[in-house]
Structure 1
Amino acid sequence: MDEATNQDLNKPTFKKWSIGWINQKLYHRRRGLLITVLSFLLVVLLFAERVVIFVNAGESAVLFKRFQDGTQLNKVYGEGFHLIFPWNIMTVYNVRIQHELKQFEVLSANGLKIKVDASIRYRPIKENLPDLHQQVGPDYADRIVYPEVEAVVRQIFGQYLPEDIYSSQKFIIQNTVQNAIFEVSERFVDLDELLITRITLPDMIVDAIEEKLEKEQVALGYQFRLDSERLEAERKRIEAGGIRDFQSIVSSGLTENYLRFKGIEATLKLSESPNAKIVVIGGGKDGLPIILDGTTNTPDIVN
């Protein structure tokens, strides 16, 4: 007891709140301080993911305050580093354009199954992100985008028969895209593009349509040939009438004196030819000349 008292008496005394006094207090309480620091670090490690939030490029976040107003509808947190209380929740959303391939099985107007392959590009509207988070949630694509697109596809394709879909794909696809974009935009999501990549009809329908189209083409070919023959017959009829009229006109003007005059005119032209020939005037029938070309013994009579 005396030794302990002597040790306390031998300890140096420091003025309160001096550096020596603080060091002395820390030394005596070092075990408690070590436990406190380790406990603090453990708490930080456990709640780091809930306190320190990183929002990467192409992302935005929405904050939910548990003990205040709930979802913060008037603010969207951008890219960067954010500190929040561990009891609050910050949800990060990808606001880039996202792409998904989907296949929908729909019914035509007569109840036949049709498969429609679609390429969907979408992204959440950044300004409406708090409303989207509050009313729908992070799984908005499965709860809004795909169901709305499928509903529009079913509605549009259900109005047509398979053969109409086969022949009017462009109009149907355009109508589907316009309706889908409108419906999805009403749900805080921007449908950037909807492409109908393939429409698969039942095999028996495709075969029947192709057979029908083939027969229609054959019928059109026959009709074309009939029209061509009809036009050709009409052409020949007109040509025959023209020849008949020509012969009638010519026959009425071919008198004996006219023919004799044309014979004399032809004789004059032949006599001017440089080829050797003999012309006998008045030796032919009806007094027309006889022309001998000098190469044969058979006379040519100009009529």
Structure 2
Amino acid sequence: MNLKLRHKLRRLTSALVFLLLIFVFLIIVLWDSVVQTTPVGHTSVLWHRFPISDEHSVGPLREGVHLIQPWDQFYTYDLRLQTSDHDFQVVSKDGLHFNISFTIRWRLLRDKIVLLNQTLGPAYVEKLLAPKIGWAARRVVALYSAEALFTEKRSEVQDALYELITSASIENGIAPEAPGRHDPNDVLELTDVLILRVELPPQIRQAIENKLEQGQIVEEYRFIVEREELESQRKAIEADGIRKFQETIAPAISDSYLKWRGIEASLELAKSPNSKIVIFGNSESGLPVIFDATDKTAPAGGPAGIDDPASAVSTGPDKTSPNKAGVQTQQPASSSTTPNMPPIPGPMRGYKDDGPGHRYPAAHSQQR
């Protein structure tokens, strides 16, 4: 009896181990089909192949781990801000063909994720977003010239493109970034459409850049002209102010006032520790003249700046006569040739004579 029981237990244990191994094998094989994960910032839609109720699609599902049946389908969508770049060939208003690139940014609407999965699926960018952007880009760019895409009208083109795509009159499933403007069939919210680059032919691009450069130079010249006009007005106002100032102070300025200011200036110069020569008697109403008497380059024969007056007096043109040796000698001119210049006997008037080479001003000079 014990042997039969042991034999049955062994067979049962072997069957359980075999079933356990099969179960583990199935889990390993079907793990990716049974265990699904919804990452952070995402949502999911579960599609039942054999639904219990009439609903085949269930969602949106929360973030985390989900256990599903191996024959069901599990779709995951990103709810965060998404970005995509697309190139389109367009024609401008002036008939120029060129390529333009856009950067598109959008968000999916969480409440409409089941509708998106049923109508478009994961490839909604290629099926809905890119074709609509291309259609709107061709329609809007055709209203502008190629030059407008390089100027301040570039933002205007972007705004016109965004308004056309998100217009309420066009049911395309794309809603603007405004909570109150969502339609029941909208599945995503368009944030903005930005012009990334414009690829023009090299010759056209260079011509447009040269034109814009010349336009900036013209604006610079206009600014210079305006600046010079303002400078002219400033100078006119300054001249008018100077004229009014002179008209105001002219009656108050007299000869006595100017003489007093000259005396003050002479006193300030006289206070200097340097040695000076002050000459009075320039005129009846004149001011004293002050000279510096410490000039190191003065000649030894007298004070600085005063030469021998007798040597500076000329009595007429010189005459030369040859001597016996044939050498030309200088002869003084006779008084008959200079009737208006009588000879000056003795020292010059106004100078004291202490001997040869020692003439200096008379008592009218005072050394300090």
TM, length-normalised to structure 2: 0.50
Matched position secondary structure for 1:76: strand
Distance 1:202 1:26, change over 3 A: same
Check the 8 A contact 1:108/1:157 in 2, yes or no: yes
Distance across 1 between alignment mates of 2:216 and 2:39: 61
Distance across 2 between alignment mates of 1:193 and 1:128: 20
Distance 1:294 1:35, change over 3 A: closer
Q: Give aligned-pair identity as a percent.
A: 25
Task: Point out the structure with max Rg over C-alpha.
Answer: 2
> Any residues of structure 2 matched to 1:179-258 within 5 Å, and which?
179-182=164-167, 184-185=174-175, 187-210=186-209
Distance across 2 between alignment mates of 1:54 and 1:170: 42
Matched position secondary structure for 1:87: coil
Check the 8 A contact 2:112/2:186 in 1, yes or no: no
Matched position secondary structure for 1:54: strand
Aligned CA RMSD, in angstroms, stands at 3.7
> Any residues of structure 2 matched to 1:105-124 within 5 Å, and which?
105-124=89-108
1:45 aligns with 2:28: yes
Check the 8 A contact 1:71/1:134 in 2, yes or no: no
Farther-moved stretch of structure 1 (174-183 vs 154-163):
174-183
Matched position secondary structure for 2:16: helix
Farther-moved stretch of structure 1 (167-176 vs 60-69):
167-176
Matching residue's letter, 1:89: Q
> Any residues of structure 2 matched to 1:168-183 within 5 Å, and which?
168-182=153-167
CA deviation string 1:192-241 (max 9, x = no partner): 2322233343333334445556677888969x98xx9xxx9xxxxxxxxx
Distance across 1 between alignment mates of 2:19 and 2:190: 53
Q: Give the structure 1 partner of residue 130 of structure 2.
A: 146
Farther-moved stretch of structure 1 (213-222 vs 85-94):
213-222
Matching residue's letter, 1:142: E
Q: Give the structure 1 partner of residue 2 of structure 2.
A: 12
The structure whose residues are more often helix, as a share, is 1
Farther-moved stretch of structure 1 (154-163 vs 180-189):
180-189
1:33 aligns with 2:32: no
Distance across 2 between alignment mates of 1:179 and 1:122: 16
TM, length-normalised to structure 1: 0.59
> Any residues of structure 2 matched to 1:46-85 within 5 Å, and which?
46-68=29-51, 69=54, 71-72=56-57, 75-85=59-69
Matching residue's letter, 1:47: L
- The alpha carbon displacement at 1:162 in A equals 2.2
Distance 1:166 1:195, change over 3 A: closer
Matched position secondary structure for 1:121: strand
Matching residue's letter, 2:40: A
- The alpha carbon displacement at 1:77 in A equals 0.6
Distance across 2 between alignment mates of 1:215 and 1:42: 77
Distance 1:35 1:160, change over 3 A: same
Matching residue's letter, 1:134: Q
Distance across 1 between alignment mates of 2:210 and 2:191: 39
- The alpha carbon displacement at 1:93 in A equals 1.6
Aligned residues: 220
